[in-house]
Amino acid sequence: MKDFETLIQEAEQAHFSGWDFSWLRERWIESEPDWDYGALVLERIPAAQALLDMGTGGGEFLASLPSRPAQTCATEAYPPNLPVARARLEPLGIPVSHVDEVLERALVTMPEPISWTEEDDLASQPGHAAAAAGTPATAH
């Protein structure tokens, strides 16, 4: 087994892009949740007039959707992911902004975390849809 310092050194030298962490494949054990985020999003897209993908990574998931509302955009906070996401999403007509650029122009309030019940209520209104990744306890 490799020592901690060697693992850190390898991680610092590893190439990754967007949400591609395949270089870690032999290093982690992951269990799948009992819910499917992609299915939740696909279920809600027909009711949505707009879609915002926050933390898009390299845009892999958003680009993979078979359909999206006409008003679709994405944000990403990790600067190295921005050119990756833009190269993947902008040809699809999806603008990608660094989260700081968005926050400079937007008022964002969240007095408390939104529970799934509140998101369901929001999604039940005409033209609204919500989906959130979370733990199985908070996912619908």
The residues facing 139 across adjacent strands are none
The values of phi and psi at residue 15, to 5°, are: -95, 130
Per domain, the residue ranges of the chain are: 31-123
For residue range 70-128, what is the model confidence (pLDDT) as tens digits? 999 998 988 899 999 999 999 999 999 987 776 665 555 444 555 545 444 554 555 55
Query: Number of helices and strands (H, E) in the chain?
Result: 6, 3
How far apart, in whole angstroms, are the C-alpha atoms of residue 72 and residue 106? 17
Which is nearest to 122 in space by CA: 98, 140, 107?
Answer: 140
The residues facing 96 across adjacent strands are 74
Give residue 131's pLDDT band: very low, low, confident or very high (50, 70, 90).
low
For the entire predicted model, the pTM comes to 0.62
Residue 9's pLDDT is 85
Residue 27's pLDDT is 72
Indicate the average pLDDT of the chain: 76
Which is nearest to 40 in space by CA: 29, 51, 30?
Answer: 51
Residue 29 has pLDDT above 90, yes or no: no
Q: How many residues does the chain have?
A: 140
